[in-house]
Amino acid sequence: MDLGEFLRFEAVVPAMKAKSKRQVLQELAGRGAVVTGLPEREIFDVLLQRERLGSTGVGHGVAIPHGPVRGLDGIVGIFARLERPIDFESEDGLAVDLIFTLLSPPGAGADHLKALARIARVLRDAAITTKLRASADASALYALLTHAPTSAPDAA
């Protein structure tokens, strides 16, 4: 699964100015509403509820908030590069500056998990994250994410 299958250019935020986890989730929900046409509040509630279960900060300055959103026809990705890292309550204690949000239709099951695995694989690559952190250009960020090499097939 390629990130370009569910990440559109207009879903890339090159320099988000949020100062807290809640503000990040709110801004991601706002961008999600623009991209999907669904209510911002519903997207925000899904992301907030997921964070209450445990942080989606996966370490190394990366977070992958995700959840099911009623009304979606397919999986939608939103990527944000923060201007300043924020505390995301990650297990490794490091502040987060790269966030890839994944919204899926309820019942997406295996496709949701495959997309999460692909996102994690791409954002685990130190060479890619270094380039993402060095660029504040939406076109460059989109190209890096959607043309990331596939080092191994996605698990089913």
Q: What's the CA dihedral at 112, 41, 8, 50 to 10 degrees?
A: -30
Point out the catalytic residue in the list 60, 66, 112, 147: 66
Contacts of 57 (CB under 8 A, 6+ apart): 63, 88, 89, 90, 91, 92, 94, 96
Cβ atoms 144, 7 nearer than 8 A: no
Integer angstrom CA distances of residue 155 from 57, 108, 113, 125, 145:
22, 16, 9, 17, 19
Contacts of 140 (CB under 8 A, 6+ apart): 131
CA 83 remoteness from chain centre? 16
147 is catalytic: no
Active centre residues (catalytic): 66
